[in-house]
């Protein structure tokens, strides 16, 4: 949110070309909101919502309401002071009009980001206006209801259609005792590839935002279907609630989470940091980090600083507490963080965002500050909690020993077998090409489907691994058992990368790893087991885009004719209706109960042939959700799982 109106310097600027200012947004929307897909569309919501949350965080108002309207537009409103409605003395425009028609400098995607609050977001409400078919702002202030409307409309001065043009003045349309801002916009179908707002996506983000901004009420209303849905998010304990949520299905090793906060300044960079940590008996660590409310999924200097500070203080205390004899092997940071859930949340005045998706913090000051703060605060905590700290350090030493063991096993396994050498011959049908970029590794559920797949495949680039029944649930197993599993060993050797810290992308032998299972409950379970294993043990395989799910058809729709039969496949029930129409009168339907029912030709046409098959790439877009899914679906604690399964029953 701009404060330009009260800023003396900006009064000197009288820039008539500012009328043209929204045009670049239409020409290159990606530069301002990242993409014109679903992500970019939702970016518009966060953009507007940020302003409301800012206002509330500053102590004005207590709630923001997001409404998905029946006409597909979206409304965000707050009960703050309302965007200033006064007229700017030089520009002769209202504050409202300036907010919606003038672009912020900075905050662009191709640039380094310099925005104080909002970071990635904070490119300004004007951007949303420019990308909307129309936008209406209403402000309750000084006893009046003000309203102004913007559209893609003819601009009298520029004599052409311009985006985000005011089509009304800021008018008083009524009286009210209340204060606040309400913005409604209709995303432009000419800009976005999809203009469907996704309830689950917004839902998840609002929950996160309520943990980040404790005390604020965030309300989501969906009026698109006959029955309206309302959800409210509100957290009194902030990060403490968030960590309970994250660890809901894990077994925690200490009841009270570690919570600390601090303000520091280095070289004009000031940071307010809040950290919450809790150890669990899980085999992996999980860190969620945020900068100015934005999830930093690509990590950055704040996370690294935290980790370094934590390792440093625990190592020092390990010596002080006589847990490491001089000659003993020490532990490393990773060993210490096994099973640790952490939330790192910082506010910083001048964030520099880097990385592919601009979600990696780059400021070196953040490293220094977080390192120092973590060291100091954790030292105090250990002082008061020597018993817990001792057992955590003992765990870290155990983890270090296990890691050494695994490394040795891994190296031995890697040396033993290359692609297609003896021990695998019976199990895996390898492909003839060696270049990974062409090769696919397909895990097929069941021996009979595996057999068909071996016959049907293109043996030049497709390798098949038939997988008998269910692999172990790696979420519930200790590392040593996972490593001992025959099935996983075969898989690991074939893939070539190694697991956990030893994962090496350059050793990957197949560009695509494809999980192919039946379209039924068992098949779904098998797929989840594989994904759980890969998520925990070979995560870069997923984040680097190598993992795919094959989608086999549910139905074959066909008709006998004089020549060759007319055949089409349907991949969903909706699809079936479409395909029936395409085939026309006299169609017959075969419902596939499993991959095993297809003959090799059918299997090739529907699921293997790159020209005709449908693959679904597995991504980790929402890291919190992925972690929750895996730990909930596969973990020990049963109650939340039931709840979750109900929630996601449609899977």
Rounded to a whole number of angstroms, the minimum distance from the CB of residue 29 to ligand TSJ is: 17
Distance CA 638, CA 635 (A): 8
Nearest-angstrom CA–CA distance, 116 and 351: 7
**Nearer Cβ to ligand TSJ, position 142 or 647?**
142
**How far is 26 from 31, CA to CA, in rounded Å?**
10
- CA separation for the pair 362, 204 (Å, rounded): 26
Nearer to ligand TSJ, 80 or 238 (CB): 80
Long-range (24+ apart) CB contacts under 8 A made by 644-647 are none
Provide the 8-state DSSP code for 472.
P
Q: Of 117 and 374, which has the nearer Cβ to ligand TSJ?
A: 117
Q: Which residues bind ligand TSJ (CB under 6 A)?
A: 1, 3, 6, 48, 51-52, 55, 76-78, 80-81, 83-84, 99, 125, 181, 183
Nearer to ligand TSJ, 83 or 239 (CB): 83
Spatial contact of 309 and 370, defined as CB atoms under 8 Å apart? yes
Q: Whole-angstrom Cα distance, residue 251 to residue 255?
A: 10
Instruction: Please state the closest distance from residue 187 (CB atom) to ligand TSJ, in A.
Output: 14
The pair of three-digit structure tokens given for residue 225, joined into one six-digit string: 């279907």
Q: How far is the CB of 75 from ligand TSJ (least distance, A)?
A: 9
Backbone angles phi, psi at 133, to 5 degrees: -60, -45
Give the shortest CB-74-to-ligand TSJ separation in angstroms: 11
Closest distance of CB 144 from ligand TSJ, Å: 15
User: CB count, 10 Å around CB of 590?
Assistant: 15
Cα–Cα distance measured from residue 380 to residue 275, given in angstroms and rounded to the nearest whole number: 14
Shortest Cβ 244–ligand TSJ spacing (Å): 30
The least CB distance from residue 185 to ligand TSJ, in Å, is: 9
Least spacing, CB of residue 539 vs ligand TSJ, in Å: 36
Nearer to ligand TSJ, 83 or 463 (CB): 83
Q: How far apart are CA 513 and CA 542, in angstroms?
A: 9
Distance CA 603, CA 612 (A): 11
The encoded tokens of residue 477 equal 């197993």
Kind of pairing between the strands at 180-187 and 132-141 = antiparallel
Q: Which is nearer to ligand TSJ, 171 or 330 (CB)?
A: 171
* Closest CB 234 distance from ligand TSJ, rounded Å: 18
Please tell me the distance from the alpha carbon of residue 250 to that of residue 638, in angstroms, as a whole number. Answer: 10
CB-wise, 3 or 561, nearer to ligand TSJ? 3
Distance CA 466, CA 464 (A): 6
Q: State the nearest-atom distance from the C-beta of 41 to ligand TSJ, in Å.
A: 16
Q: Of 81 and 438, which has the nearer Cβ to ligand TSJ?
A: 81
Choose between 49 and 343: whose C-beta lies nearer to ligand TSJ.
49
- Which of 122, 126, 140 shows the shortest CA–CA distance to 50? 122
**What would you measure as the largest C-alpha separation in the chain, in angstroms?**
87
Strands (E), 472-611: 512-516, 547-550, 555-559, 566-570, 588-591
Nearer to ligand TSJ, 77 or 475 (CB): 77
């Amino acid at each position: 949110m701009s404060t330009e109106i009260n800023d003396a310097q900006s009064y000197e600027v009288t820039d008539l070309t500012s009328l043209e200012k929204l045009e670049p947004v239409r020409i290159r929307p990606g530069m301002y909101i990242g993409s014109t897909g679903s992500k970019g569309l939702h970016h518009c919501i966060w953009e507007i919502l940020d302003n409301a949350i800012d206002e509330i965080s500053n102590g004005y108002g207590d709630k923001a309401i997001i409404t998905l309207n029946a006409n597909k537009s979206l409304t965000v409103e707050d009960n703050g002071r309302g965007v200033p409605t006064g007229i700017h003395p030089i520009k002769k425009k209202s504050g409202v009009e300036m907010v919606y028609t003038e672009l912020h400098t900075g905050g662009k995607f191709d640039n380094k980001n310099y925005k104080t609050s909002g970071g990635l977001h904070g490119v300004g409400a004007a951007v949303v206006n420019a990308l909307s078919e129309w936008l209406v702002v209403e402000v309750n202030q000084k006893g009046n209801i003000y309203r102004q409307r913007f559209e893609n409309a003819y601009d009298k001065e520029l004599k052409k259609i311009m985006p985000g043009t005011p089509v009304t003045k800021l008018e008083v349309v009524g009286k009210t005792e209340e204060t606040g801002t309400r913005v409604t916009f209709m995303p432009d179908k000419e800009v976005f590839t999809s203009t469907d707002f996704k309830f689950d996506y917004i839902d998840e983000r609002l929950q996160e935002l309520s943990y980040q901004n404790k005390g604020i009420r965030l309300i989501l209303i969906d009026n698109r279907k006959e029955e309206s849905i309302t959800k409210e998010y509100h957290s009194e304990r902030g990060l403490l609630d968030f960590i309970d949520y994250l660890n809901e299905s894990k077994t925690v090793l200490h009841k009270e989470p570690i919570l600390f906060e601090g303000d520091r300044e280095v070289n004009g960079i000031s940071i307010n940091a809040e950290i919450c940590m809790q150890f669990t008996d899980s085999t992996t660590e999980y860190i969620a980090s945020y900068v100015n409310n934005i999830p930093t999924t690509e990590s950055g200097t704040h996370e690294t600083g935290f980790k370094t500070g934590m390792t440093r203080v625990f190592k020092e205390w390990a010596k002080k507490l006589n847990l490491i004899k001089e000659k003993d092997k020490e532990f490393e940071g990773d060993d210490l963080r096994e099973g640790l859930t952490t939330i790192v949340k910082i506010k910083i005045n001048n964030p520099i965002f880097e990385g592919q998706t601009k979600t990696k913090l780059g400021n070196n000051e953040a490293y220094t500050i977080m390192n120092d703060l973590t060291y100091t605060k954790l030292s105090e905590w250990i002082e008061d909690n020597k018993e817990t700290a001792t057992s955590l350090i003992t765990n870290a030493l155990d983890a270090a020993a296990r890691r050494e063991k695994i490394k040795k096993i891994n190296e031995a396994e890697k040396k033993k077998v290359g692609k297609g050498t003896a021990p695998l011959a019976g199990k895996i049908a390898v492909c003839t090409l060696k270049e990974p970029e062409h090769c696919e590794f397909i895990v097929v559920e069941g021996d009979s489907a595996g057999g068909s797949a071996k016959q049907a495949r293109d043996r030049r680039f497709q390798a098949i691994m038939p997988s008998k029944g269910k692999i172990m649930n790696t979420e519930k197993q200790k590392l040593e058992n996972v490593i001992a599993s025959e099935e996983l060993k075969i898989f690991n050797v074939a893939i070539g990368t190694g697991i956990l810290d030893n994962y090496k992308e350059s050793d990957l032998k197949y560009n695509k790893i494809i999980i192919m299972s039946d379209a039924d409950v068992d098949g779904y379970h098998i797929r989840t087991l594989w994904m759980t294993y890969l998520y925990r043990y070979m995560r870069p395989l997923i984040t680097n885009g190598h993992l795919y799910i094959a989608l086999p058809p549910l139905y074959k729709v066909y008709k006998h004719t004089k020549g060759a039969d007319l055949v089409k496949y349907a991949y969903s029930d909706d699809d079936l209706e479409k395909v029936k129409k395409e085939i026309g009168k006299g169609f017959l339907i075969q419902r596939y109960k499993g991959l095993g029912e297809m003959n090799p030709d059918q299997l090739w046409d529907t699921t293997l042939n790159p020209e005709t098959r449908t693959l679904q790439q597995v991504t980790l877009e929402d890291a919190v959700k992925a972690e929750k899914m895996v730990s909930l679906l596969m973990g020990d604690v049963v109650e939340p799982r039931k709840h979750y399964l109900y929630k996601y029953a449609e899977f």
